[in-house]
Structure 1
Amino acid sequence: MNIQTLYSRQTLMIAAMCATGVLHQQKAFAQEPLKQETIDIISTNQPKLRDAYKLNLTASLPGIDTSRPLLKYQVPALNLNFMYQAAQLKPLALGRDSLGALQNNFIKLGYGNLKTPYVQAGFGSGRKDAYNYGLFVNYVGSQGKEISDQQYSNLNVLASGAYLLPGFELNGSLAYDRNTIHYYGYNHDTLKYNKGDIAQTFNQFTASVGLKNRPQHDWAFEFQPQVKFILFNDSYKRTENTFLARIPVRKQVFEDIYIKAEGVFDLSTYKQENVRSINNNVVAIHPAVDIIKPGFVLHAGVNPTWTNSKFYLLPDVVNESHLVRKKLILSSGWISYFEKNSYRNLINKNPFMAGLADGILNTRVEEKYTGIKGTLGSHFNYNTKFAAVTWYNMPLFVNDSADTKFFTTRNEEQLRAFQLHAEVGYIEEEKFQARVTFDWYNYNKQETEVKPWHLPPFQGDLFLQYTFAKKLRLSADLFALSGSYYLLPNKDFGKTKGAWDLNAGASYDVHKNFSLWLNANNIFNTHYQRWYLYPTYGFNIVGGVMIKF
């Protein structure tokens, strides 16, 4: 049965029921009052639509056209007429070298009070592509007027050169140094000596040869071996022959990591009047690794060393960390090394020493330090260090109890001190320079000796230099030195006085080839004693001319 038939039947039924109701209503109206009727709906009409048919569509790509199209172009010819005709290209000639001729040679002559002649000269080859050479000569001497026999002279001659090969540089030098002093540290009221009896002359001949490679890139091996022969003698028939060889090698293995090593052979033999001889040898190898990064540097190595008939494995660690880039750098390290106590090295410290003592040992130095350094702006730089230093087998100079004008050495087995080093500098191109430095040592422990004989705990230096109009240069150098302890023949001890020493200099360029100069030393005229019984010369002024060509 469909929806329309059902709907028609239900309509007829409802119409019949309504008609019957009307009849009954009319009849009831005539006979009795109207009664209420109830209509029950059996079911409700719920229309529904028939399901629609769905179309399923499947998309597909068209086939690939693999045929190569044939394209034809027709470009019309353009006939253009230019009024400008380009000139023919020609190479330009190189400009001349803008560097001016060098003044390779100079002669400096002067004279001053205290019978002070001054001669200095230098001669050089200038700019050469294949080689260069130079010769330097220096002579100066003085004679004190307040103390007899207070005089010295110093002569230095040096000839050096280098020959450049495609991959190497060969260099060598010959030098002669002659230093004459007098032992004037005696009581001049009671003792008299002939000059020949108290004169001392040190002669030193040095020959060296070295080789250095010229790497073509940063990753190549770098090596620079050098060999040196030194003959040293004095007027008392003391001789010392030294052979010194250094062989450093360096290689970059990564972008910021380098490995390096250096072999050191320092062999010497001391003889006195051809009677006895002392062999003093130091052999060491210094392997290390360097890590160099922006703001960080680490040098880590060890120093295996053979000397004094013993083997030592010494630390060699240094670090620099930038807390503020280039302005605040933390520097720290733990290093140890040997200072060779040869006759020549000790004479360079104290020229009034009488010979080399038997059984003298080389000094082992150990430093543990930290500090800060850096730059401020474009002119200031500074460097500070606080260190704990220990010297093992340190030779200390004392006056000879039999003859006080000579010095002998005492072996201090272990000497400790705290060190404070500070340095501040200012540089304004070549116009103005200023620098102040000082070193302060707090000697707090010694095992063998009562005092650290002739070791001043404080030394300072203030240097200034100013140039006016690139012609007039003025300089000043102020030194400060504290007193040091000395040992008397009766086993008592005393202390020298501290001192200030001011030096000043000036030079004026009259011409590019000619200038005048003047130097004044010990302007305060203080006769302080760096070594007991040996006062300084006092005020000294020297002036002269300088010729450059």
Structure 2
Amino acid sequence: MYQPKIDQSKEMESMKSVRFISYSTCLVALLCGFQKVNAQDSTRRKTIDITSTFKPVLRDAVKLNFSAALPKTDTIRPVLSYNIPVQEVKLAFQPGSLNPVALQADSLLAWKNSQYLKVGVGNNHLPYLQGAVSLGNSNTGMLSAYGELFSAKGKLPFQKHNLADFQLRGSYKIAEDHELSAKAAFRGEDFFLYGYQPESLVFSKTDLRQRFQTVEGVIGLRNTDPSAFGLIYSPSLKIVSFRHQNADSSAREENLVFNLPLQKTFGKSFGFNLGFTADMTRLKPEGKSVIKNNLYYLSPALTLKTPNLFIQAGILPSWDNKVFNMLPNIMAEITTNDQQFTFQAGWIGYYNKGSFQRFSTVNPWLAQPAQLLNHRVAEIYGGFKGTLASHFTYSAKAAFSKQHNVNLFVNDQQDGKTFQTVYSPSMDVLQLHGEIGYLKGENFNFKTGITYSNFTKIEGQAAAWGLFPLELNASLRVKVIDDLYLKADFFGWDGPAYRSKTGEDRKGDKAVDLNAGLEFKVLPKFDLWLQMNNIFNNKYERWNQYQNFGFNVLGGVIYRFNQK
């Protein structure tokens, strides 16, 4: 069929013309409508007429349901192989073991307990009182008081000894890293010079009584932590007033000791110590001139401390009554990794202060000294110490010392009841000492030791008067059962040399002594105690012409305030 050909461009133009006419017509109609609306009455209330409502609604989505199928159970057990390489750790050092060492107890001192009162009687002691009280805590401050009072009487005429001892100690933290400590003490003792010969001599009680009174005060300051510059310091000041009185004379002595130790650390191993000590003594006998004895010394030293090595290298320049002496201060310790063996060696020097108060603690029957000299010692020593099987301890030491101004005591050549203080300008001493011990917690503690001393080149004196050439000692502490404790102490010596009334050099007798005691609880606050001294009842003399008490027993009760 034939179709005429149409010009497409003309057709497109005709369609645009038709659309333009249609748009024009609509625009005219809208303008006419707008004018008509504006021409309406404006007072008529405006309303809106809704002719239809359109709510679009979405078609519900089609949800697909999945039904998963469980996997099939695998019944094949897997075989897993592991290949872990061996790890070998090699330590550069071996840690050491800690073995506590018990404090050696003195057989002459009773067991001390805080907040208690101890009362006893015996064949030689009537009465016996002892007590202690402690207050405070370690965080802010502590205060403790101790007292002991007794009167002892032996079988010999005028064999008596009276004691009154009171001490008050305290410490207080004045800052976070500083602590202030103080001590006040009084000690009064009466000794009677019963060792006169011949025994037919007649004396009254007043003629033989010798009284010592000591008043002591100490104050100190220390830093509990090193300062910002690594300094550790603990200065202290001690003042002692000592008084001696007997029927013939009296004397008063004042001692002042100032000590300032300083320590500076460099890292973890190195340090530097510097100390200064001033020890001044003034003795005023009745009716005689004043005796002064002043001692000053410094103690600078370098230290090296590692887990296995300790070395101190220093000197001790001193001024003994304005006389200069240089003393050594060198020590070394080498320890194994397990701390079970330690080798010790050193070359050291030190002083024993010459004062009437110190002499009276060594020999209470001495007369007033006519001179006060300081005992100077320069010593070279070597030895070792250690532990075995965690319970055994041992130590051994050999020392050779050159000693000057050694104070010795000899009987007076009238009746021998008093001792005169004499000095040896120079003396050589070879000393050997050994100890072994066994410690098992608080249940068992045993320790014994021996000391041998050989005195040679004694200048100015015929012998080392009153010094022991051989000493033995042993102590035992056993917890038998709960609340039952047993203790025992043994000591003995070879007789020291003494000077007879005619001036001859003689040797004293050998002596052995055994003490034993026990303590057990009977009530929550009450304990019973018993102490027996000189069980062998040996009649020996520590100082010539002064026989001991012999066998004596003492017992009583202990009341503990802090027990429930």
Normalising to structure 2: TM-score of the pair? 0.77
Determine the C-alpha separation between the residues in 1 that align with 2:199 and 2:161. Answer: 22
Residues 336 and 364, structure 1, Cα contact 8 Å, conserved in 2: yes
Determine the C-alpha separation between the residues in 1 that align with 2:390 and 2:341. Answer: 14
Q: 1:321 aligns with which of 331, 334, 337?
A: 334
Q: Alpha-carbon deviations, 1:202-245, whole Å to 9, x = none?
A: 00000111111121689731111110110000113211001111
Q: 1:141 aligns with which of 146, 151, 161?
A: 151
Q: 2:256 aligns with which of 223, 243, 247?
A: 243
Partner of 2:94: none
How do 1:98-113 residues align onto structure 2 when only pairs under 5 Å count? 104-113=114-123
Query: How far 1:493 moved relative to its partner?
Result: 2.2
Determine the C-alpha separation between the residues in 1 that align with 2:312 and 2:404. Answer: 24
1:432 aligns to 2:441 (yes or no): no
Partner of 1:68: none
Partner of 2:169: 160
1:357 aligns to 2:370 (yes or no): yes
Residues 402/189 of structure 1: CA separation in 2 closer, same or farther (3 Å cut): closer
Residues 323 and 330, structure 1, Cα contact 8 Å, conserved in 2: no
Q: 1:263 aligns with which of 276, 289, 295?
A: 276
1:228 aligns to 2:241 (yes or no): no
How do 1:81-480 residues align onto structure 2 when only pairs under 5 Å count? 104-127=114-137, 129-145=139-155, 147-164=156-173, 165-187=175-197, 189-215=199-225, 220-235=230-245, 236-323=249-336, 325-358=338-371, 360-480=372-492
Residues 463 and 478, structure 1, Cα contact 8 Å, conserved in 2: yes
Q: Equivalent residue of 1:401, what SS? A: coil
Determine the C-alpha separation between the residues in 1 that align with 2:518 and 2:333. Answer: 39
Residues 534/222 of structure 1: CA separation in 2 closer, same or farther (3 Å cut): same
Give the aligned CA root-mean-square deviation in angstroms: 1.6
Q: Equivalent residue of 2:482, what SS? A: coil
Residues 268/322 of structure 1: CA separation in 2 closer, same or farther (3 Å cut): same
Residues 104/373 of structure 1: CA separation in 2 closer, same or farther (3 Å cut): closer
Q: Alpha-carbon deviations, 1:38-69, whole Å to 9, x = none?
A: xxxxxxxxxxxxxxxxxxxxxxxxxxxxxxxx
Q: Alpha-carbon deviations, 1:51-101, whole Å to 9, x = none?
A: xxxxxxxxxxxxxxxxxxxxxxxxxxxxxxxxxxxxxxxxxxxxxxxxxxx
**Runs of 5+ unmatched residues, structure 1:** 1-102
Determine the C-alpha separation between the residues in 1 that align with 2:176 and 2:338. Answer: 39
Determine the C-alpha separation between the residues in 2 that align with 1:522 and 1:328. Answer: 37
Q: Equivalent residue of 1:348, what SS? A: helix
- AA in 2 matched with 1:175: A
Determine the C-alpha separation between the residues in 2 that align with 1:477 and 1:116. Answer: 23
Determine the C-alpha separation between the residues in 2 that align with 1:514 and 1:219. Answer: 52
Identity %: 31
Q: Alpha-carbon deviations, 1:365-389, whole Å to 9, x = none?
A: 1111101111112111111100112
Q: Equivalent residue of 1:546, what SS? A: strand
Normalising to structure 1: TM-score of the pair? 0.79
Moved more, 272-281 or 208-217: 208-217
Q: Alpha-carbon deviations, 1:414-456, whole Å to 9, x = none?
A: 1112100111111101000000012110123212212111111
- AA in 2 matched with 1:150: Q
Partner of 2:49: none
Q: Equivalent residue of 2:457, what SS? A: strand
Residues 473 and 508, structure 1, Cα contact 8 Å, conserved in 2: yes
Moved more, 347-356 or 216-225: 216-225
Q: Number of residues paired by the alignment?
A: 445
- AA in 1 matched with 2:184: L
- AA in 1 matched with 2:168: A
Partner of 1:65: none
Q: Equivalent residue of 1:372, what SS? A: strand
Determine the C-alpha separation between the residues in 2 that align with 1:399 and 1:216. Answer: 52
Query: How far 1:188 moved relative to its partner?
Result: 5.5
Q: Equivalent residue of 2:168, what SS? A: strand
Q: Equivalent residue of 1:427, what SS? A: strand
Q: Equivalent residue of 2:137, what SS? A: coil
Determine the C-alpha separation between the residues in 2 that align with 1:188 and 1:150. Answer: 16
- AA in 1 matched with 2:160: Q
Residues 159/396 of structure 1: CA separation in 2 closer, same or farther (3 Å cut): same
**Runs of 5+ unmatched residues, structure 2:** 1-112
Residues 453 and 484, structure 1, Cα contact 8 Å, conserved in 2: yes
Residues 431 and 452, structure 2, Cα contact 8 Å, conserved in 1: yes
Query: How far 1:487 moved relative to its partner?
Result: 1.0
Residues 393 and 412, structure 1, Cα contact 8 Å, conserved in 2: yes
Residues 197 and 417, structure 2, Cα contact 8 Å, conserved in 1: no
Determine the C-alpha separation between the residues in 1 that align with 2:224 and 2:465. Answer: 48
Residues 348/395 of structure 1: CA separation in 2 closer, same or farther (3 Å cut): same
Q: Alpha-carbon deviations, 1:463-518, whole Å to 9, x = none?
A: 11110233100011011111011112322222110011000010002234221100
Q: Alpha-carbon deviations, 1:233-284, whole Å to 9, x = none?
A: 0113211001111111112112201111111110010010153110001111
Residues 116 and 141, structure 1, Cα contact 8 Å, conserved in 2: yes
Determine the C-alpha separation between the residues in 2 that align with 1:115 and 1:244. Answer: 36
Residues 104 and 124, structure 1, Cα contact 8 Å, conserved in 2: yes
Moved more, 163-172 or 217-226: 217-226
Q: Equivalent residue of 1:356, what SS? A: coil
Moved more, 323-332 or 492-501: 323-332
Residues 236 and 260, structure 2, Cα contact 8 Å, conserved in 1: yes
Determine the C-alpha separation between the residues in 2 that align with 1:218 and 1:436. Answer: 45
1:487 aligns to 2:499 (yes or no): yes
Residues 331/105 of structure 1: CA separation in 2 closer, same or farther (3 Å cut): same
Residues 548/188 of structure 1: CA separation in 2 closer, same or farther (3 Å cut): farther
Determine the C-alpha separation between the residues in 2 that align with 1:153 and 1:438. Answer: 32
Moved more, 447-456 or 518-527: 447-456
Residues 213/538 of structure 1: CA separation in 2 closer, same or farther (3 Å cut): same
Q: Equivalent residue of 1:430, what SS? A: coil
Residues 412 and 420, structure 2, Cα contact 8 Å, conserved in 1: yes
Q: Alpha-carbon deviations, 1:154-183, whole Å to 9, x = none?
A: 111001111112221011111000011000
Determine the C-alpha separation between the residues in 1 that align with 2:201 and 2:311. Answer: 59
Q: Equivalent residue of 1:298, what SS? A: strand
1:523 aligns to 2:535 (yes or no): yes
